[in-house]
Amino acid sequence: MLFRSKTKAVENEIIEDDAFFNNLRNTQFKRLDQQNQVYLDYTGGNLYPDSLINQHFKFLKESVLGNPHSTNPSSNLATIYVEEARKKIIDYFQADDYFCVITANASASLQIIGECYPFKNSMFLLTADNHNSVNGIREYCKNRKGDVIYTPINFEDLTINEKRLDENLSAFPECDNKLFAFPAQSNVSGIKHDLAWIKKAQDQGWDVLLDAAAFAPSNPLNLKEIKPDFVSISFYKIFGYPTGLGCLFVKKSKFNKLVKPWFAGGTVSLVTVNFSGFQLIENHERFENGTVNYLDIPAITNGLNFIESIGIERINKRVKALTAFMIENLNGLKHANGQPLVKVFGSHNIELKGGTIIFNVMNENGENIEFETVELMANKKMISLRTGCFCNPGIDEINNCLTEEELLKYYSTTTKASFKEMVHFLGKMRGAVRVSVGLATTHKDLSIFINFLKSFQQ
């Protein structure tokens, strides 16, 4: 099925690529097969290669590293490795025009924007497809009397309604500050949103926040070309280890637009107690509160080197091929009466998608099987997938046809909202099943998963 309608040259290329990634699986991720595990949650978190762990543990065993905020030998060595990692990050993303703020994770990067963006007399525009760490910024905006508006999703393919987006981008000339936030790739549907929106928005006076956490693991991101004002990144999503590290890119020309409302250790060049004066550091350190994770940050260098040794374009091509294979097979699953077994949400156009697929499993009557049941059965087969709403309520609300009126009625009648209570109150199912592929995925994994789904056929 994989090679159908392919030319001989393309077939040979696919076979060669398959051999490369199968070898990668056998050398770097052999623990999966040793434990008979099928891992299909790469959007939740990537898997680390054996070599990265071995390399970093060797580094830790042989190094004496101290808190970077000093000039003693151990501190100086830690500073060298931290700045080496920062330079690697900037080089990898071609981000010379940006400050690279190393953070605890992508959510911590986004919180910096929430805390520091000047939301007074402002407009915060979001796409309805956004992770909750971006959605949550609206509370900072609202608390400072700024306004918030969402651009809706198209029901048919889960893309953004571009007509409405254009209308929103051209509106609100009276606002002093305007911030537009969207994901380069949806963490739920896998839809890749148009990066041309960045310049279009900037040309109309908007600052642009790009959430690249789900995009960067399998797509090239060149910040010399697309130039958003702020970009959030998560490193474990790219190469698995270490968790607890991300970064925020801040365009140097917009650095002073972020007004930090407090200071902490490591963020000030001068502070006094007998007088209320202080001076914040004039670079990335302004936003790196306290002591950075100097023991793990050096692993970022090795992680990015590992990705470069494979090639992000090659990873992109591989993920695209696996996603196409998965979608074709999912769409082919039927019950004995011809009723589809699976309903895949969003566009099936592989050119618009990353390696993330969201769907429901249905019985022979076309009724949804509860995602908890699917997950429970998958757990027993040692298949790691993810279910629920995936910290992205906008996608779930449109997939399950939840209206503003229904949600208003629910929230106005409860003070202690819960998932189960909401489902019961609305009489509508919420949540779905999500699978995602990555550089350690093999066609054998996908075949095992497809066969697992066949167990629901009737």
Whether 180 and 257 share a structural domain: yes
Task: Give the pLDDT confidence score for residue 117 in this predicted structure.
Answer: 98
Task: Give the pLDDT confidence score for residue 17 in this predicted structure.
Answer: 87
Mean pLDDT score, 12-41: 91
Give the Cα separation of 362 and 425 in Å (integer).
Answer: 22
Among 307, 323, 349, residue at a domain's last position? 307
Among 265, 281, 307, residue at a domain's last position? 307
Report whether 245 contacts 105 (CB < 8 A).
yes
Strands 383-384 and 38-39: parallel
Of 23-27, 42-46, 393-397, 429-433, the least confident: 429-433
Mean pLDDT score, 48-61: 98
Any domain includes 62? no
**Number of residues assigned to the chain:** 458
SS3 content of the chain, % helix, strand, coil (to 5): 40, 15, 40
> What is the identity of the amino acid at 21?
F
Tokens of 182: 């969207």
Measured at the CA of 330, the angle between CA 327 and CA 332, to 5 degrees, comes to 110
Tokens of 297: 């940050």
Give the Cα separation of 129 and 352 in Å (integer).
Answer: 15
Mean pLDDT score, 440-453: 97
Our count of domains for the chain comes to: 2
Work out the number of other CB atoms within 10 angstroms of the CB of residue 425. Answer: 15
Count the alpha carbons within 13 Å of 157 in the hemisphere toward its beta carbon: 14
Any domain includes 336? yes
Work out the number of other CB atoms within 10 angstroms of the CB of residue 96. Answer: 10
Task: Give the pLDDT confidence score for residue 428 in this predicted structure.
Answer: 64
Any domain includes 357? yes
Q: E-strand spans in 341-445? A: 342-344, 356-361, 383-384, 386-388, 432-436
Mean pLDDT score, 317-328: 97
- Residue 360: strand pairing partners: 343
Q: E-strand spans in 339-385? A: 342-344, 356-361, 383-384
Whether 87 and 136 share a structural domain: yes
Any domain includes 121? yes
Any domain includes 58? no
Of the residues 100, 116, 247, 391, which is catalytic? 391
Any domain includes 406? no
**Who's near 189: CB < 8 A, 6+ residues apart?**
129, 158, 345, 346, 347, 353, 356, 358, 395
pLDDT greater than 50 at residue 2: no
Task: Give the pLDDT confidence score for residue 4 in this predicted structure.
Answer: 47
Task: Give the pLDDT confidence score for residue 285 in this predicted structure.
Answer: 84
Whether 33 and 75 share a structural domain: no
What are 99-110's pLDDT values in tens digits?
999 999 999 999
For the domain that residue 75 is a member of, what is the CATH number? 3.40.640.10
Mean pLDDT score, 351-360: 96
Whether 371 and 239 share a structural domain: no
Task: Give the pLDDT confidence score for residue 11 in this predicted structure.
Answer: 55
DSSP-derived 3-state class of residue 138: helix
pLDDT greater than 60 at residue 9: no
Q: Which domain holds residue 302?
A: 67-307
Among 280, 307, 334, residue at a domain's last position? 307
Task: Give the pLDDT confidence score for residue 412 in this predicted structure.
Answer: 77
> What is the identity of the amino acid at 352?
L
Residue 3 banded pLDDT, cuts 50, 70, 90: very low
Task: Give the pLDDT confidence score for residue 422 in this predicted structure.
Answer: 74
Any domain includes 435? yes
Whether 251 and 276 share a structural domain: yes
Task: Give the pLDDT confidence score for residue 397 in this predicted structure.
Answer: 86
Kindly state the DSSP code that residue 353 receives in the 8-state scheme: B
Tokens of 389: 């709403």
Count the alpha carbons within 13 Å of 279 in the hemisphere toward its beta carbon: 4
Whether 230 and 295 share a structural domain: yes
Task: Give the pLDDT confidence score for residue 265 in this predicted structure.
Answer: 84
CA-CA distances (angstroms) from residue 317 to 186, 310, 313, 448?
18, 12, 6, 22
pLDDT greater than 90 at residue 246: yes
Report whether 79 contacts 217 (CB < 8 A).
no
For the domain that residue 362 is a member of, what is the CATH number? 3.90.1150.10
DSSP-derived 3-state class of residue 371: helix
Whether 245 and 352 share a structural domain: no
Whether 226 and 207 share a structural domain: yes
DSSP-derived 3-state class of residue 237: helix
Give the Cα separation of 249 and 95 in Å (integer).
Answer: 8
pLDDT greater than 60 at residue 10: no
Whether 278 and 130 share a structural domain: yes
Tokens of 79: 């500073």
Comparing 264 with 34, the larger pLDDT belongs to 34
Whether 303 and 317 share a structural domain: no
Whether 36 and 124 share a structural domain: no
Q: Please provide the DSSP assignment of 22-72 as one string.
A: HHHHHHHSTHHHHTT-EE-BTTT-PPPPHHHHHHHHHHHHH-----SSS-S
Q: Roughly how many angstroms between the first and final C-alpha of the chain, as a whole number?
A: 24
Mean pLDDT score, 376-396: 95
| Residue in 237, 143, 140 with CA at minimum distance from that of residue 181 | 140
Mean pLDDT score, 332-353: 96
Measured at the CA of 175, the angle between CA 170 and CA 180, to 5 degrees, comes to 60
Residue 402 banded pLDDT, cuts 50, 70, 90: confident
Task: Give the pLDDT confidence score for residue 7 in this predicted structure.
Answer: 55
Task: Give the pLDDT confidence score for residue 276 in this predicted structure.
Answer: 83
For residue 388, report the phi and psi dihedrals to the nearest 5 degrees: 120, -145
Q: What is the mean pLDDT of the chain?
A: 93
Residue 391 annotated in active site: yes
Whether 283 and 343 share a structural domain: no
Give the Cα separation of 178 and 123 in Å (integer).
Answer: 5
**Who's near 322: CB < 8 A, 6+ residues apart?**
355, 437, 441, 443, 446
CA-CA distances (angstroms) from residue 69 to 90, 290, 295, 409?
22, 10, 14, 53
What are 162-218's pLDDT values in tens digits?
999 999 999 999 999 999 999 999 999 999 999 999 999 999 999 999 999 999 999
Mean pLDDT score, 307-321: 97
Give the Cα separation of 144 and 122 in Å (integer).
Answer: 9
Give the Cα separation of 129 and 104 in Å (integer).
Answer: 24
CA-CA distances (angstroms) from residue 83 to 90, 101, 290?
10, 11, 16
Any domain includes 81? yes
